[in-house]
Amino acid sequence: MNMKRHVFESLRWRTGLYVYLLCGLITGGLIGATAVFSADQSSAVVSDTAMTMEKLQKDGKYVCLLLYKEKNAKVSSVQKAVEVLKKNKAGKVELVMADVLASTSESLLQKYRMAPERMPMPLLIVFAPNDVVTGVFETDPDEKKLSDSILSQQATQCLKLLQDGKNVVLCIQGESTKGKEQVVEAVNTFLADGAYKDTFDKVFIDPGNAENKAFLEKLNVTMTADEAVTVVLTSQGRIAGTFKGVTSKDQLVKSLQACGSSCGSKGLG
């Protein structure tokens, strides 16, 4: 799968779940003039964006990258929105700012094929610790939508695989979920099949984790650990099948056959 895509190209999700891909996003940080703001904004440290983001992400932090051309009321409004997010998600989020017109931002623009004259400004991009993009906001972000861009490690693992071109079998189950052993056995049998082992992966997601609520809602999955739910997602963000309770390899295969080429993904049987 070619990840060299134009800025703002998006995966179209039937479920309404969205993920924006930026060129070269999967492979690392940005280069540019930045300022990392502490919680009280009393000081800012200007440094290389790639190093700054890498350090923050290695520490398990989400990075809210705010791109701008000039400091104005809109930029200040977005900053305030991110500061509210930082307070609500204590220790999980940092704000990084980059002036796209600065000479030190040239590498950033080149790496991601960004054209400032064609981009809405200010632009806020939310990066997960694994460097997957979980939100893009062209306007002053709604507090709930911005908060919903902070996902669990399990959810970002799923999105990372999808953005890498993998299809995903999402196993939604908790410690007390009924029939989970049978589901795991069926999924493992499916993934062991030579027709699917190279193009599919599995991710377990706990419905008991509150951070998974928004993600699961987009998949039309109720937050409950009573019954296992298995969702087959294609690399194009399409849902090939959703199965409640115990499932089988045959059911997974049939869902892919029914989805067919319309799912826009290879390895669908």
Mind listing the pLDDT tens digit for each residue in 146-171?
A: 998 999 999 999 989 988 889 999 99
Which residues, in sequence order, are CB contacts of 240 under 8 Å at separation 6+?
Answer: 167, 232, 233, 234, 255, 256, 258, 259, 263, 268
Residue 50 confidence (pLDDT): 66
Look up the CATH architecture of domain 9-150. 3-Layer(aba) Sandwich (3.40)
pLDDT given for residue 97 in this prediction: 86
CATH class of 154-263: alpha beta
**pLDDT computed for residue 102 by the predictor:** 76
Q: What is the pLDDT of residue 225?
A: 66
Query: What pLDDT is attached to residue 16?
Result: 30
Locate the domains of the chain by residue range: 9-150, 154-263
| pTM, full prediction | 0.76
Spans of the chain below 70 pLDDT: 1-50, 103-112, 114, 223-225, 261-269
| C-beta atoms surrounding 119 within 10 Å | 16
The pLDDT, as a whole number, for residue 268 is 53
The confidence score (pLDDT) of residue 201 equals 96
Tokens representing 60 are 């398990």
What pLDDT shows up at residue 248? 94
